[in-house]
A and B are shown apart, each in its own frame.
Chain A
C-alpha cells in the first residue's frame, strides 16, 4: 500500500487518505461479520454443552425416578411356631434364624389355593421379595407375643413384580422371552383388584445399606460413608492447605527452594488420582497398618489429592487481597502475624472456602484411589465411625451397575441423582459463601 511511503504533493496525500478510509470502510462490514460469527460460535458452544447436560439429567431422571417408589403386597401371615420352626420359649438367636420365608410361602399358597405344580409354586414365591422375610423377622423380634397369631402385613414385592407394576415389563413379548410370566401377571392383577397391592414412596432406599436384592437395597450406607470420608478429608486438608498457602504467600522468602515447591504443588494437582490410591495402600495400610476399607484411610488419600487444589486456590485468594491493606496494618504497628491473621486471611476467606468446596466436590466423585484401599466392597452395615468398613456414593453406583438383576438399573440412576443432588448442594454453598463475604476493590 502506498500510504506508508512518503508522498510528494497534497493531492496525492488526500487521495491516499481517501483510499485509507475507503479501505477501512470496506473492511468494517467484514469485521462486523467476523464478530457476529464469533459470537454465534460461542452461543452454539454453550447451547451444545447445555443440551448435553440436559440430555444426561433427563435420561438419568427417567431411568431413576421409578426407584423412588416401591410396590407392597398385603398378606395374611400365620405365625405358627411349627412353620417357623420354633420351640415354646424361643430366644433371640432362634427368632433370628426362624423360617420366616416358609411362613410367607404358606400364606401365598393360602391366597392362591389352586397353585399345585412345583414350577408354578416357585413362580408364586417370587412375587414376594427375599427381603420380605427380614421385615417379618424384625416385626416378630419386636413383638414375640405375635407367634401363634395371624398377622396382616404389607411386604415388599419381588424385583419382577416391581418392574411390572412400574410398566417396565413389555407384556407384548411372547411369554417365553419374558421373565415375568402370564400366571404371575394373573395373580398380581387379581390381588390388585382386591386392593392388596399398593405403591408407596420407597423409604427403604434412604433407610438401609446395600443389599443383593434390588428392592431391599438402600443408599444410606454409601451416603454415611461419603460423609465420614469427606469429614476426614476436610479436617485434614483444610488447615494444612491454608497454613501452607499462608506461609508460601506471606512469609516464605522468594528463592529457588520456594519456586521448586511451587512447581511441585502445581504438578501434584495434575497427578492421576489412582497414584494417590497406590500411595495410600503402601503408606497408610501396609506401613501404618490402618484398617482396609475404612473412611479414615479414604479421607487420608483424598486429602492428599485435594491438598494441591486448595493450596493453589488459597494462594490466589491471598494474592488478590490488595497490598494497601497489609501496608495500612503494618503502618499502624501490627506484627506480620497480626496482619495476616487479623486482616489478610479474613478477606481471603471467601476465595479459600470456594476453592475448598471445589476440592471437596472433586473428592466426592472419586473412585479410583478408593479401589486400591479396599473401599470398593459389598458393605451392608451402615458405618458409624471412621474405622468402620464403608463405601462411598460413586463406588456404590459403580457396583450396582455391575449386578445382573434388572432392578439395579433404576437404583443405579437413582443413586446418580442423589450424588448429583449432593454435588449441587455443595456448589450452592460455595456460591452462597462467595456472594455473602466477597469484597470487591
Chain B
C-alpha cells in the first residue's frame, strides 16, 4: 500500500511540478544570458552589480562558448530563448542568417572592450622577445620552404633557436587551448596569421587561393610541440610553474592575476600591458561583444537597465570595475558611439 500511495503521490507531485513549470515559463522575470567563456568573467561582474543595486533579479549567465551562445540566441523569440549572447568575436554572417530565419531580425550589437592574449613562461626563466613571424614559424603546421621556392614544407623546427638564432636553444613546447576555445581561434587569427602575412607571397595567396591561405595560416602543428592543455587557463598557468621550459597561451586577465608565477613574452617588442592592448600596439588582442534581442527589451524586465549598467562609465570606463577585472576598455570615442547605439537600441548592420 505504502508503495502504491507513494507512486500516486509522485505522479501528482510530478504533474503539479509540470504545471507550475509551465506557468513559470510563460513569464520570466530574470534576464537569461549565454555565450563566450571569455566574456563570462566580465558579464558576471556586471550582472552581480546589477542585481545588487537594482530591484531586479540577478541575470543568469551560462558559459556556452561564443558559437554555442549564438545557436541558443538565434533559436527564436520568446521567454524560453536567451535574451543576450556574449561573444569573443563578431557575429558571423551565417549566424546572422540563422537568427533571421528564426525571426530574430532586430539585434543590437554592443562592442564592450578588448582582451589581450599573452604568450608567457614561468618567472624563473628569461623573458622572451619574439616576433609574430617567429611564432608562426615555430607553431604552424606548414611553413614556407626556406630555399625561397614559394612552396611549403612540414614544420621541421625543434628548438626556438632553429626558428631564430636570437632565441634560446630550448625545445619548442607551447601549452594552449583546444580548437573549441575562442582564445585559440583568436590566437590563430591574430598571431599565426599575423606572422603568416609577414611573407608577402603568402599574403598574396589570401586573394588568389583563400582556402590554401587559411589552411597554412590557421593550422597549428600536431607533432607534440603545441600541447592542447584544456579550456582552463588556470591549469595552463599551473603547468607553466611546474614546467618552466614551456610557454603558455592564455587571456590577459589570467596574466594580470598571476604576475607572481608567469611573465609575458614581448611580441614584436611590445609587452602586453593594459596600455599597450588599449592603444592597439600589442598585436594579439581581440574585441569582445554582446548581442541583445531587441524584441525582448521591455518584455523581460531589466534588460534596458542591464545595458545601462554595462555601458556606464563606472563599469566599462577606463577606471571602471571591468578594467579592474582585466578587460581592456574601448577608447573614449568608441565608448560614446556604442553607448549612443545602445541607448537608442539601434539595430546592427545586416551581415552578409
**Are the CB atoms of A402 and B234 closer together than 8 Å?**
yes
- Among A177, A212, A293, the most chain B Cβ lie within 10 Å of the Cβ of A212
The interface bits of chain B over 12-30 (1 if a CB of A lies within 8 angstroms of the residue's CB, else 0) are: 0110011011101100101
Report chain B residues within 8 Å CB of A246: 3
A93-B55, A288-B18, A404-B41 given; A374·B260 CB < 8 A: no
Asked if A220 is an interface residue, CB under 8 A from chain B, the answer is no
Q: Which of B9, B14, B47, B80 contacts A378 (CB 8 A)?
A: B47
Whole-angstrom distance between the Cβ of B117 and the nearest chain A Cβ: 14
Residues of B within 8 A of A211 (CB): 48
Chain A residue nearest to B309 (CB atoms) is A97
Docked Cα-Cα span, A291 to B13, in Å, equals: 17
Instruction: Determine how close the nearest CB of chain B comes to the CB of A439; give it in whole angstroms.
Output: 18
Docked-complex contact B21 and A387, CB < 8 angstroms: yes
Chain B nearest CB: distance from A351 CB in Å?
15
Give the size range of A's interface with the partner.
35 or more
Within 274-305 of B, Cβ neighbours of A (below 8 Å) are at none
Residues of chain B contacted by A301 (CB below 8 angstroms): none
Q: How far is the CA of A243 from the CA of B45 in the complex (A)?
A: 48
Please report which residues of chain A, range 292-327, place their CB below 8 angstroms from some CB of chain B when the two chains form the complex: 292-294, 296
**Is there contact, CB below 8 Å, between B232 and A401?**
yes
Given contacts A212-B41, A291-B21, A381-B58, contact A243 B53 (CB under 8 A): no
Q: In the complex where A377-B61, A403-B41 touch, is A290 in contact with B257 (Cβ < 8 A)? A: no
B241: chain A residues within 8 A (beta carbon):
none
Q: Does B213 contact A (CB under 8 A)?
A: no
A43 within 8 A of B: no
Is A96's CB within 8 Å of the partner chain B?
Answer: yes
Report whether over half of chain B's contact residues are helix, strand or loop; otherwise say mixed. helix
A285 vs B48: C-alpha distance when bound (angstroms)? 26
Spell out A's residues near B (CB within 8 Å): 92-93, 96-97, 130, 134, 137, 170, 173, 177-179, 211-212, 232, 235-236, 238-240, 242-243, 246, 285, 288-294, 296, 341, 345, 374, 376-381, 385-387, 389, 399, 401-406, 409
13 more A-B contacts (CB under 8 A) besides A236-B14, A290-B22? Answer: A177-B260, A238-B6, A288-B18, A374-B62, A379-B58, A381-B58, A387-B17, A399-B63, A401-B234, A402-B231, A404-B233, A404-B234, A405-B257
Closest 4 CB pairs of A and B: A380-B58, A378-B61, A387-B24, A377-B62
**Chain A to chain B contacts (Cβ below 8 Å), 14 pairs:** A96-B53, A134-B52, A177-B123, A177-B259, A177-B263, A236-B10, A240-B10, A290-B18, A296-B21, A378-B47, A379-B60, A386-B20, A399-B63, A404-B254
